[in-house]
Amino acid sequence: MLAVACLMLGAGVTAIVMAPRLPQALSGTDPNASIAIEHRQTDDARTITIDAEEVSMPPVTAPRSGMITQSDCKPGAVLKSGTSIMRINGRSVLMLATEQPFWRDLSVGDRGDDVASLNKALTMIGVGDISGDTVTDATIQAFRTASEKAGNTLPDGYTTIDTGDVAWLPVDGTSVSACPATVGQDIARGQTLVELPAAAGSAKAESLPTGVASGERVVLAGDQKLDISETGDIDDLAAFSRSAPFLSSGAQQGVRKVSVQWALKTPVDVGVVPASAIGTMDNGQPCVVIDGDSRPVRIIGSMLGRSYVQTTDGEVPDGNVRLKPDAGGCS
């Protein structure tokens, strides 16, 4: 019995020693009990839904016939304009992202929307500064530079851009869904080299939350951090189309509803107070009592019974906050 009693006593002592010690402000029933405001940073992330129009993507096809002699193609790889991931008969296949497919050979003096698209694409990859809808010597030189950078040096006297020297990439920065053309395979011109997944033709938030911390916002979609406009539009559709939330979503009537985080681009400082410390003024404005004074606040967010607050002018409150604001008069 004595041993049992001692064991019970020991257990009781242990319980007393291990119990967390509450701050004095929390240990009683004092209506004016208070606690120091903590400071931290938050990105004020909110969950929003993006309506993304689903668009089927045409594949990357072979610009010429021959045998696949090298391939770096793999599902999930990102395809960039001005690069090559495959060789046909030992020659690299230059990919260029243009608004129109390559449907004709182009020589100096040729004009058209396809030429304007080519000039723009060559400028975008940094091999020239070309504009207009006419093929110039600068266009030919920029194309030669792009081809050489991709691993295919064109011969001296090359003055006509041959459609067999370039593959059309529908969207710059798209990802690979499948690689049907394998090393050692004989292929014909126009045969599929790389299959591409469906992409977002447009992406816009269904709605944006109100009463949030002010500041520039971004969308966090998987490992993608994307700019979003004040009206909820995402411009970098290629990156959004590669994101895990988009790829894992299903389409209904051609639209994917994609859940993402809408967060501050630069986190802000906030005061952290117990949720019980938030009171309400007569006009409905949230408030806290700090060192005996009532202060209107803006609630930035909350988590696990704690509220993140700023003053109404965006400052971080400091001092000791009353745990029961209505007890002493917050209104």
> What integer pLDDT is reported at residue 29 of this predicted model?
65
In a domain, 313, yes or no: yes
Average model confidence (pLDDT) across the chain:
89
Same domain, 116 and 235: no
Calculate mean pLDDT across residues 291-305: 87
Same domain, 74 and 184: yes
CB atoms within 10 A of CB 90: 10
Domains in the chain: how many in total?
3
Please give the span between the terminal C-alpha atoms of the chain, in angstroms, as a whole number.
59
Helix then strand then coil, in percent of the chain rounded to 5, is 20, 35, 45
In a domain, 232, yes or no: yes
> What integer pLDDT is reported at residue 314 of this predicted model?
84
Assign 330 a pLDDT band (cuts: 50, 70, 90).
confident
Domain end among 194, 221, 238: 194
In a domain, 189, yes or no: yes
pLDDT tens digits for 138-181? 999 999 999 999 999 999 999 999 999 999 999 999 999 999 99
Assign 52 a pLDDT band (cuts: 50, 70, 90).
very high
Alpha-carbon distance of 250 to 236, in angstroms, equals 20
Domain end among 211, 245, 260: 260
Same domain, 204 and 189: no
> Could you tell me what percent of the chain has a pLDDT over 70?
90
In a domain, 50, yes or no: yes
In a domain, 31, yes or no: yes
Assign 13 a pLDDT band (cuts: 50, 70, 90).
very low
Calculate mean pLDDT across residues 62-83: 97
In a domain, 10, yes or no: no
Q: What is the pTM of this model?
A: 0.72
> What integer pLDDT is reported at residue 28 of this predicted model?
53
Q: Which CATH number characterizes residue 36's domain? A: 2.40.420
pLDDT tens digits for 85-137? 999 999 999 999 999 999 999 999 999 999 999 999 999 999 999 999 999 99
Tell me the backbone φ, ψ of residue 172, rounded to 5 degrees.
-70, 130
pLDDT tens digits for 130-150? 999 999 999 999 999 999 999
Residue numbers of the domain that contains 88: 60-194
In a domain, 81, yes or no: yes
> What integer pLDDT is reported at residue 17 of this predicted model?
32
> What integer pLDDT is reported at residue 292 of this predicted model?
86
Same domain, 65 and 183: yes
Same domain, 223 and 150: no
> Which own/partner contact pairs does 144-152 have at CB distance under 8 Å and 24+ positions apart?
146/82, 146/94, 146/96, 146/122, 147/92, 147/94, 149/82, 150/82, 150/83, 150/84, 150/92, 150/93, 150/94, 150/95, 151/84, 151/87, 151/92, 152/84, 152/91, 152/92, 152/93, 152/94
Same domain, 284 and 232: no
Assign 196 a pLDDT band (cuts: 50, 70, 90).
very high
Same domain, 185 and 64: yes
Same domain, 177 and 290: no
pLDDT at 2 over 50: no
Same domain, 250 and 282: no
Same domain, 186 and 80: yes
pLDDT at 249 over 90: yes
In a domain, 207, yes or no: yes
Same domain, 112 and 92: yes
Domain end among 260, 280, 302: 260
